[in-house]
Structure 1
């Protein structure tokens, strides 16, 4: 029994379920996403695999064929975390996201704070994160015409295992040669400041209004916890990494909405009456109120737990 819906006192309870990734074409993406995905279903360049996007479809069980957005009312509202895999083959645009107050003032539901966990990185791989000291909005605007914006932003070398916090208001971009697991607020509000000459719309006026000269963005040191590694803990999300080397069964208590993302090996998410396979490159959503789940895995399985809000993640 997988991804089932049950009635309890007139309220629909939703068991954990696995979503099919939704592939987003981007001009900076890749033709092939192997070894993560054998087929994207398109010949276009794909830059993002959305694992918990509102349009992602349940793969198995009684809820099969329903989108995550359609299940929102049964789960108490919109799923608060948008988790993606990013596959840049070229530099992404330089961009900035508003915080909640700025987004709502512009008529949006919420802002966009995010983080990046580096799953793969070629030698010399980098991201750009935050303005260099002394750079202001006027300098940033002038840099569009002479193609010098990149020189005004801090370049941060990255390697496998790095976690980077991207605070709202931070000017940022991603370089090629990496695979990133991105966890963010469920929002797609992006103001593109510079795009290396690609024929896409810029949002310079909106972006300059929400830029913050200093933010909390940057690399985050991992913390050893009891049975897992805490990669980041912020207001909107907590992200933890589990390596099931010797222990092949892990009990997790999840008090808030969460998802598990498979990175390597086979695992199964088990609750009373429900068992869902956790596959690499896919997410299993754990609706709020599920409580405790068991992850039964083959030796060597690795997965990430993404939970909202920050106070919800405990083992």
Structure 2
């Protein structure tokens, strides 16, 4: 198998009615048109910004490089994780994602389990995560029809550095006040339950089918492992935070593709036979499974999120 070099991906900006027109200081991006709510970092339309793949969409890179990119036995698969930065200026709809079994009943390859890491959070930042204990499905449906579903949601505060797990089937909503790094299964399946009177389609029947009143969702406490923090280690993904010591081929080898997201600082990625490239805050590098030699260097303080897919 030919070894592939790491490469940086260019972000893709997605319009959302609940987003911002100006994403500074996180991204140098302003628009007079529709607001931007999501910045996709590993979407299939994101293009390589460095190296031999420069200008190619991630979907094409993945299809052409199979196991060398994704790992042994993964040829023919899609890129396994969709990573985004979310900028909610307004409340997102109350929604729920199906699990794999339900998604496949409707002809989709997979469901959507995700997690949120708070890159920043202002005073009073909150999210809705789950239905209050003791609530029945009939009460949920009635609350939707009577425009009072918010009364039945479990609300949790969000602080900078929090990791929140959002299991498939969890009724949830993101509210203003935080900037979130989202890691999720590669899926865009969302069933909208309630939208505060906005004129957008609701998916009530599928929402009720997907909803689970008890899930594994909630805040996750970090674990210290060999000088870095494991923020979450779940069925589909593992997210780590590195500062002080930075990941390299020597201390962060993997037999699958991995992603490095710069939360703080400015770094350079180097390696044998690799033209060095920079990684600024909010930029992401893809480390192919077959990459043999790579090192991150920083002139000052830096914080790097290392994200890996897990076997389902």
TM-score normalised according to structure 2 size:
0.91
Q: 2:39 aligns with which of 25, 39, 49?
A: 49
Question: Counterpart of 1:70 in 2: which secondary structure?
Answer: helix
Q: State the match for 2:60 in structure 1.
A: 70
Deviation at 1:272, TM superposition (A): 2.4
Separation of aligned partners in 2, 1:47 and 1:35: 15
Superposed CA deviations along residues 180-229 of structure 1, whole A, max 9, x for unmatched, are: 00001111011010111111111111111011110000000011111211
Separation of aligned partners in 2, 1:291 and 1:230: 23
TM-score normalised according to structure 1 size:
0.90
Deviation at 1:65, TM superposition (A): 1.1
Range 291-300 or range 214-223, more displaced: 291-300
Indicate whether 1:210 and 2:198 are aligned: no
Superposed CA deviations along residues 65-124 of structure 1, whole A, max 9, x for unmatched, are: 110011112332321010000000011100000111111111111110000001111111
Separation of aligned partners in 2, 1:294 and 1:143: 53
Separation of aligned partners in 1, 2:259 and 2:120: 21
Gap runs ≥5 in structure 1 = 1-7
> In structure 2, do the counterparts of structure 1 residues 248 and 142 end up closer, same or farther at CA, with 3 Å as the change threshold?
closer
Q: State the match for 2:160 in structure 1.
A: 160
Deviation at 1:310, TM superposition (A): 6.6
> In structure 2, do the counterparts of structure 1 residues 249 and 122 end up closer, same or farther at CA, with 3 Å as the change threshold?
closer
> In structure 2, do the counterparts of structure 1 residues 94 and 248 end up closer, same or farther at CA, with 3 Å as the change threshold?
closer
User: What is the total number of aligned residue pairs between the two structures?
Assistant: 299
After TM superposition, the structure 1 = structure 2 runs for residues 145-224 of structure 1, keeping only pairs within 5 Å, are 145-224=145-224
Separation of aligned partners in 1, 2:64 and 2:87: 32
- Contact 1:252-1:294 at 8 Å conserved across structures: no
Gap runs ≥5 in structure 2 = 67-76
After TM superposition, the structure 1 = structure 2 runs for residues 80-159 of structure 1, keeping only pairs within 5 Å, are 80-159=80-159
Question: Counterpart of 1:14 in 2: which secondary structure?
Answer: coil
